[in-house]
Amino acid sequence: QVQLVESGGGLVQAGGSLRLSCAASGRTFRSSAMGWFRQAPGKEREFVAAISWSGGNMHYKDSVGGRFTISRDNTKEMVYLQMNSLKPEDTAVYYCAASRASDYRGSGYPEDFTSWGQGTQVTVSS
C-alpha cells in the first residue's frame, strides 16, 4: 500500500497555472505507476494523467495534452502535475493515485489504481 497526500490546489484565473504535488510513502511507490484523476461536481471521476514507475512513459487525457505535464521524483517520493493554460472546465477535485502496475494500462483497467489521496480542490474562474 502507498499513502498519498495531495497539495497545491487553489483558485486561479483562466489562463493561469498551478502545480499540484503528491507526497507518497510506502515501500511499493518506486515500482508503481502513478496517476492524477479529477472529479467535477455532478460528474464521474475521470483520468487526467499517468506516469510509469521510471518516469519514462506519460499518458494524458486528450483535453489536457499540451497543457498539463506529469512528473515524478522517486528519490523524494513525489509526483507532480504542472497545469498551464487552465480553463474553467478544469475545475474539479484532483486526486493522486498509485497503481499496482508499473505502467498505465489504459482506461480499461481502473482497478489498477488501489491507493488514493484525499484530493485537492482546483477552481478556475473565467
pLDDT in tens, 49-93: 999 999 999 999 999 999 999 999 999 999 999 999 999 999 999
Residue 65 per-residue DSSP state: B
- Provide the pairing of β-strand 46-51 with 58-60: antiparallel
> Would you say how long the chain is, in residues?
126
Evaluate whether 77 touches 22 at the Cβ level (below 8 Å): no
Band of residue 107 on the pLDDT scale cut at 50, 70, 90: confident
Give dist(CA 20, CA 38) in Å, integer: 12
The pLDDT of residue 1 is: 78
- For the stretch 3-51, pLDDT in tens is 999 999 999 999 999 999 999 998 888 999 999 999 999 999 999 999 9
Dist CA 124 CA 6 (whole Å): 18
Give, as one character, the DSSP assignment of residue 54.
Answer: T
